[in-house]
């Protein structure tokens, strides 16, 4: 099976996993707590971006969706930050979050403006977005360990959101770190295979976790640390 075929299959799986998360989120939107409503909006936002890419690419004869990445990154980080604000219930996080998201947005738009004359692979922006998502998931796990209030982690929607984020972020960072190594010591084909086939697998995992979190009911909370 050729790399092009594998990339097509991986891309279709990614799109359908995003659509699946959006459908679950919309079907249960009224019954979701505020934090998960932001997650549902995130899935819908990503579907909208996928539709935009599908509509624009044939018109302008584009081969990738990198031209939209700053907008996608700002939207995803912003909605995730709002979702985790509800999950963390931290006054400090609520005060700091707008400044962090604002600074990230300014950097993303600046990077887009500087490289406006050409479509480029925004490695620095990707890494920064990954680190912010990693920080959100880590803060949630730290809250769980510190408070010990959730009786059954597997029944906690944000546990699965955070697991999905960690799996995706760590996989994405490893791909970016070893991409040039694969090119230098193996082949360009292997590098492309990892980027267009393996990375979408991490995205499918992420959106599967989103779907699971949106389908679940929040767990009962008790004070296990007292």
Residue 203 pLDDT level (bands cut at 50, 70, 90): very high
* Cα–Cα distance, 24 to 30 (Å, whole number): 12
Give a yes or no: residue 226 inside a domain. Answer: no
- The region of weakest confidence among 40-44, 99-103, 136-140, 174-178 is 174-178
Q: What is the pLDDT of residue 63?
A: 60
Radius of gyration of the chain (CA): 18
Give a yes or no: residue 224 inside a domain. Answer: no
Q: What is the pLDDT of residue 220?
A: 55
The strand pairing partners of 221, in sequence order, are: 150
Give a yes or no: residue 209 inside a domain. Answer: yes
Number of domains into which the chain is organized: 1
Give a yes or no: residue 83 inside a domain. Answer: yes
Q: What is the pLDDT of residue 55?
A: 82
Give a yes or no: residue 221 inside a domain. Answer: no
Check whether 19 has a pLDDT greater than 90: yes
* Cα–Cα distance, 152 to 171 (Å, whole number): 27
Give a yes or no: residue 57 inside a domain. Answer: yes
Give a yes or no: residue 89 inside a domain. Answer: yes
3-state secondary structure of 221: strand
Nearest to 161 by CA among 214, 99, 85, 105: 214
Mean pLDDT of 96-102: 96
Give a yes or no: residue 220 inside a domain. Answer: no
Q: Which domain range does residue 161 map to? A: 3-215
**DSSP H helices in 116-187:** 123-147, 157-185
Structural tokens at position 15: 């799109």
Q: What is the pLDDT of residue 223?
A: 43
Higher pLDDT, 183 or 221: 183
């Amino acid at each position: 099976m050729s790399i092009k075929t594998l990339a097509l299959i991986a891309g279709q799986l990614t799109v359908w996993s995003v659509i699946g998360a959006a459908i679950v989120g919309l079907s249960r939107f009224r019954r979701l707590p505020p934090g998960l409503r932001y997650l549902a909006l995130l899935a819908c936002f990503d579907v909208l971006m996928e539709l935009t890419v599908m509509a624009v690419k044939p018109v302008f004869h584009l081969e990738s969706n990198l031209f939209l990445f700053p907008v996608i990154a700002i939207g995803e980080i912003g909605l995730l930050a709002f979702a985790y604000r509800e999950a963390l219930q931290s006054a400090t996080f609520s005060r700091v979050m707008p400044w962090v998201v604002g600074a990230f947005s300014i950097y993303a738009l600046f990077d887009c403006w500087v490289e406006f004359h050409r479509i480029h692979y925004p490695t620095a922006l990707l890494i920064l977005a990954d680190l912010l998502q990693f920080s959100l998931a880590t803060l949630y796990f730290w809250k769980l360990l510190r408070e010990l209030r959730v009786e059954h982690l597997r029944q906690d929607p944000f546990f699965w959101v955070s697991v999905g984020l960690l799996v995706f972020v760590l996989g994405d960072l490893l791909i970016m770190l070893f991409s040039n190594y694969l090119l230098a010591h193996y082949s360009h084909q292997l590098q492309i295979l990892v980027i267009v086939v393996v990375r979408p697998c991490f995205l499918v995992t992420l959106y599967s976790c989103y779907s699971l979190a949106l389908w679940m009911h929040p767990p009962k909370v008790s004070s296990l640390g007292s």
